[in-house]
Amino acid sequence: MSDLIDDPIPGANEPEFTVSEISGAVKRMIEGEFGHIRIKGEVGRVTRARSGHLYFDLKDDRAVLSAVSWKGQAARLAVQPEEGMEVVATGRLTTFPGQSRYQMIVEDIRPAGVGALMAMLEKRKKMLAAEGLFAVERKVPIPYLPEVIGVITSPQGAVIRDILHRLRERFPRKVLIWPVAVQGDRCAPEVTAAIEGFNRLQAGGAVPRPDLLIVARGGGSIEDLWGFNEESVVRAAAASGIPLISAVGHETDTTLIDHASDQRAPTPTAAAELAVPVRADLMAHLAKLDDRRIRAQNQVTALKRQRLRDLARALPRPADLLSVQAQRLDHLVLRLPQGLTARTQRERVRLTNAAGGLRPVALALLTARQSDRHRQLSRAFAQAASRAVERQRGRLQSVAVLRPLDLSRAVDAKTSELRTLMRSLIQTARTRAERDRARLEALDRLRQTLGYTETLKRGYAVVRGAGGQVVTRAETARKEAALEIEFADGRVPAPSAGRSATKKPKSPGDEQGSLF
């Protein structure tokens, strides 16, 4: 049996290879034959490993080719492969012995023509629109006159010069420039970083935070503008808290950042025109507004003045309002001296009647004194009333020139003041009259105390003759034809002493004897 195994098979003289040897031979043959190739196909099944390597498939309608782009190469790809994209991949073929398959190491990848780029662009646009990044309600209005404008563009070229020139020409503003690459592999990450960097600036910091951002680039092909179609740029523009104007390409060029921005400008120069108004136009507009304000104020003032005139016509004349009060004042002034004189005369009569029993000299002296005091009081009252009238007339004349709207209040105030003055004069006269009355009553009580009537109450009597004169001597009483005796409670007639002496003496039973 062992002999059968050791003997070579007749005709079997081919060399024997191990699995590793044959895998290495295939690898060398494929890499030597296909060391640099370009393959056109559709991208399918894209996978990005944690290590950063990118795995995807290139396929057509009959075959599938595995492709890999290592971490460093994947970061430098101009276009990131997406499923369904038709591309042209550049690289080399190699084998993977662990799985007995061959694959392509991709060093560069480009869309397969404008049609492929447009298809990929349309697909990305639909995906981002479905997330709401292009919604109108997300957009914020552009400030009318920003203080600081941030410009994201290349520091070289005509774009930045056109923007600065137009801003200086229309309305000079502060401008912050963030230099970026506007084409190639570095375009998308640098533009994204610039938008996010401006948004991270704090208000009031060392570097002022812009009130408006402008992302600008000149015209070019779709491949040149492709960086502004990248997803990272679109998301950064949509998430910007600062209003953003996109001015990428010419008027016919459209990129995805135009849909995500708050305002699209057809050219960089147009973006500067959208950013600020024309200062001369603004000054002219302000002048027109100021003219309108002045006209409106004048019109309102004229309407109010006419309204005031209309209301003033319905008011009575100042002279009519004051005439009644002035006439009343004159009437009261004329009555005041007469009233004081009449009161003085009444008090003088009362004084005369009360002082009937006083001695004539004392009575005349008291009457003269009271008359003098009343005359002085009357003159003082008359002078005070005259001065008050003059003051009120002067005040009424000054009130007459007041404006119609203040006239009513002025008349009320002067009327109240006049009433107060009249009450004061009346109160003064009443107080002085009460004081005089009290003095007269005191004098009357003194008169009664010193008079003979109080003596009569103590048991004395007054004898009067036929003529009513007081008889104080017996001799005079004998000569009187008739006598009258006055007691405290009345008067009683009595026979004269002379007539009683000639008559027959009465009997002891007579009730009335002779007084003397």
* pLDDT greater than 60 at residue 407: no
- Name the strand (E) or helix (H) holding 248: strand 244-248
- Across 59-63, 99-103, 297-301, 317-321, which has the greatest mean pLDDT? 297-301
Residues 391, 397, 402, 404: is their CA dihedral positive or negative?
A: positive
Task: Give the start-to-end residue ranges of the domains of the chain.
Answer: 19-112, 122-277, 318-450, 457-502
The residue ranking higher by pLDDT, 187 or 512, is 187
Q: Tokens 């997406």 — which residue?
A: 82
Residue 341: the pLDDT is 82
Residue 8: the pLDDT is 54
Name the CATH architecture for the domain at 19-112: Beta Barrel (2.40)
Which CATH number is 122-277 given?
A: 3.40.50.261
Tell me the sheet residues that pair with 492: 485
Phi-psi region of 84 (alpha: psi -120 to 50; beta: other; left: phi over 0): left
Instruction: Report the percentage of the chain scoring pLDDT > 70.
Output: 82
- Across 336-345, 377-386, 487-496, which has the greatest mean pLDDT? 336-345
What pLDDT, in 10s, does the model give residues 444-462? 777 777 666 777 777 778 8
- Name the strand (E) or helix (H) holding 316: none
* pLDDT greater than 90 at residue 243: yes
Alpha carbon distances (Å) from 451 to 348, 360, 447: 20, 13, 6
End-to-end CA distance of the chain: 219
Separation CA 283–CA 184 (nearest Å): 44
What pLDDT, in 10s, does the model give residues 132-161? 999 999 999 999 999 999 999 998 888 999
The residue ranking higher by pLDDT, 182 or 387, is 182
Stretch 269-287: mean pLDDT: 92
What pLDDT, in 10s, does the model give residues 350-366? 777 765 555 555 555 66
| DSSP type of residue 136 | G
Residue 360's Cα: distance from chain center in Å? 88
User: What pTM does this model have?
Assistant: 0.47
Q: Yes or no: say if 107 and 76 are a contact pair by the CB < 8 Å rule.
A: no
- Residue 391's pLDDT band, with cuts at 50, 70 and 90, is confident
Q: In the Cβ-directed half-sphere of 120, how many Cα atoms lie within 13 Å?
A: 25
Q: Tokens 């003596």 — which residue?
A: 455
Count CB-CB contacts under 10 A for residue 348.
Answer: 15
Q: Yes or no: say if 89 and 103 are a contact pair by the CB < 8 Å rule.
A: no
Residue 160: the pLDDT is 92
